[in-house]
């Protein structure tokens, strides 16, 4: 299903006034991560603050809606942001790592995955990964479709 069709279905079933959404796919392995979100396992994500600043993108805000896409650009679900915190990479909590739902959900695993991801992502914008880099930690809930 395309994003516009899913959004129209969502707003017909919910009382959503003047809402808008952004459609996006997770960076690495977008299909698997979208499945984790739809299953309610992945309820958080993390992004490099440097990338938001480089791309002049607004930071996520509580209440924002996002359409999660798979690798083919097909809509998988709609999430709503429930919390946003900006912390240094080295201070991302074990609870946040668990909420991201990847691998064994441990902080050690999260750090391994995200150091590799951020290193690659930052190098594309001529920046360097370091443990003190700021990370946008976003929490969300699936609002459509509900299982």
Collapsing DSSP states into helix, strand and coil, what is residue 92? coil
| Nearest CA among 31, 61, 60, 32 for reference residue 47 | 60
Question: For the residues 114-126, what does the mean pLDDT come to?
Answer: 97
Yes or no: say if 134 and 82 are a contact pair by the CB < 8 Å rule. Answer: no
Cis peptide before 145 (omega within 30 of 0): yes
Asked if 43 and 140 touch (Cβ cutoff 8 Å), the reply is yes
Phi and psi of 2, rounded to 5°? Answer: -85, 165
Confidence of residue 19 (pLDDT cuts 50, 70, 90): confident
Backbone angles phi, psi at 64, to 5 degrees: -65, 145
The verdict on pTM exceeding 0.85 is yes
Helix segments in 14-106, DSSP class H: 30-38, 49-55, 94-100
Cβ–Cβ < 8 Å for 104, 145 = no
pLDDT of residue 147: 61
pLDDT of residue 15: 74
- Residue 110's pLDDT is what? 97
Report d(CA 141, CA 40) in Å as an integer. 8
């Amino acid at each position: 299903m395309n994003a516009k069709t899913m959004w129209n279905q969502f707003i017909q079933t919910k009382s959503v006034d003047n809402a808008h959404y952004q459609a996006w796919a997770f960076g690495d392995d977008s299909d698997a991560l979208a499945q984790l979100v739809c299953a309610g396992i992945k309820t958080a994500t993390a992004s490099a603050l440097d990338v938001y600043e480089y791309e002049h993108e607004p930071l996520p805000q509580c209440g924002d809606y996002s359409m999660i896409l798979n690798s083919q650009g097909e809509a998988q679900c709609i999430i709503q942001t429930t919390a946003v915190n900006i912390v240094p990479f080295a201070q991302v909590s074990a609870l946040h790592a668990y909420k991201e739902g990847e691998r064994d959900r441990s902080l050690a695993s999260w750090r391994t995955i995200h150091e590799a991801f951020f290193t690659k992502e930052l190098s594309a914008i001529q920046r360097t990964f370091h443990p003190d880099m700021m990370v946008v930690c976003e929490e969300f809930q699936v609002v459509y479709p509900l299982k």
